Amino acid sequence: MCPGFLYVAKPTKQTKKGLAARAIALAKRVREKGKNIAKNKGLRRFVDATLTDSNLMAMVPRGNAIGAAYSKIKQARKGGGSKASPCLKKWFDCVTKPFSQNAQGACIPSGANMDSNRYFGYLRGDCYIGTKGIGFIALSPSPFNDAFQVFVTNSEFATNTASICFGNALAAGVTGLKIPNMRFSASSVVASQSTQIDMPLQARIVGGGVKVYYTGTELNKSGLMSMYTNPGHNCALYTPSIAANAGTQSSSTLGAFQETAIVPVSREPYEYPIFPQLDQELDYYKFQGGSVGQPTAYTHFVYPWSSGQQAQNTVPNVLSAGVVNDTGGNVVVGSCTTLLFFSGIEGQTIHFEIGLHCEAIGDLTEGMRAPADSDPMGVDALMAAMSRFHIERNSFPHMSSADVLKKQYAAVTGMRDMKVTL
């Protein structure tokens, strides 16, 4: 052998015999397992048993890697077995079971990881089907107790589209509601420029949900419930082709969106989750020097999911949030990101319960803060799973929110942990 050259020995007869023996042994093991195909209820169990047998897969080149990848995919498809940190599990609960005690004290273990005060606000009421056979609930969520954030139709609603404002006032037949048991007010910050600069309070929405069910007469029970959240948290009341005109969303236009959940009107409660969908919603909004006194900044602070977009018909007709800013004017309501649209018989009612989990930081939370948590990887995976949620739930309408989201979380973490050759 010359120096500088790598010598590779040719396989001997003994080596070839060894490889042949291993191949024969593998074939024999496969035949033995194949004898029980009928007993194992078909080929799928046979394939599962083969690919998850570490001793058997060790006889195949890269067999262990193949078996491990298959196990990950199988686990993801089952939607079970995924692990999460305790703080991430509580965040998961506040989205899928917002009214449960297990969800109390939920926080987002990412963004500004600071000790925070966690609180829960809820509202109950009735939505009426109007004179045109249509009713709706529009949500512009806020973590504060002095801002309008729920808009519902009453018995005088007389149009067939989801319009919440006309000019600078509420549309006829629409009622604006606040969630008074939220812990803090937006006025405590926006009422003066000094408090906007000092920021004694910042709040964000952790998640929540809406529960709806029919409460009208049995004879008049009919129609559909169409529920939609814009995937980018843009206004859910606009249709993409008519962005300049509010109030054009109807049952037919909502049906054109993949994310829209459509179910029959029923006395069985239907829970619809709402959650952050943008990275900026994982953090607290802070007034910058140039944003103090700016109308869109006020709206963004009071309505963290609106990105500063305002609820409006045609500019400059806007809707007051009921909060007075430092100039003595009114803060404008943030754009409605979630719409629940009902069809049925005039005068019938849909009962609703809305729950929002929030957390706040700042001097006004002194003595009320819980320790900070951190799980950025878990938050990233759950955000991806929540992005998949609304479309996926339409494929499994009879599954609970928790089961669907758990399945998607398992799929995200399974694909994240699986490694393939580039």
102 token code pair: 């297990």
> Residue 419 has what pLDDT?
73
Nearest to 183 by CA among 371, 300, 324, 357: 357
What CA–CA distance (Å, rounded) separates 59 from 67? Answer: 12
| Three-state secondary-structure class, residue 106 | coil
Nearest to 272 by CA among 217, 179, 341: 341
> Residue 162 has what pLDDT?
87
* pLDDT, tens digit, 9 for 90 and up, residues 357-380: 999 999 999 999 999 999 999 999
Torsion of CA 250, 251, 255, 259, to 10 degrees: 80
* pLDDT, tens digit, 9 for 90 and up, residues 56-69: 767 776 666 666 66
* pLDDT, tens digit, 9 for 90 and up, residues 140-149: 999 999 999 9
How far apart are the two ends of the chain, measured CA to CA in Å? Answer: 36
In the chain, domain spans: 32-81, 98-373
> Residue 81 has what pLDDT?
57
Torsion of CA 310, 122, 396, 337, to 10 degrees: 0
Which residues of the chain fall below pLDDT 70?
1-20, 23, 27, 30-46, 48, 51, 54-55, 57, 61-82, 239-247, 313-316
* pLDDT, tens digit, 9 for 90 and up, residues 8-50: 455 565 665 666 677 677 767 766 666 555 455 566 666 767 7
What CA–CA distance (Å, rounded) separates 264 from 273? Answer: 18
> Residue 355 has what pLDDT?
97
DSSP for 354-379 reads EEEEEEEESGGGTT-PBPP---HHHH
Residue 265: C-alpha distances to residues 104, 341, 351, 391 (Å):
30, 11, 11, 20
Residue 369: C-alpha distances to residues 107, 113, 118, 355, 375 (Å):
11, 12, 7, 21, 19
> Residue 74 has what pLDDT?
64
| Three-state secondary-structure class, residue 254 | helix
Residue 402 CB neighbours (<10 A): 15
Q: What is the DSSP letter of 278?
A: S
Say which CATH topology domain 98-373 has: Jelly Rolls (2.60.120)
> Residue 71 has what pLDDT?
66
184 token code pair: 């803090």
Nearest to 380 by CA among 97, 115, 110, 112: 110
**Residues paired with residue 359 on neighbouring β-strands, in sequence order:** 118, 204
Sign of the C-alpha dihedral computed for residues 74, 76, 78 and 84 taken in this order: positive
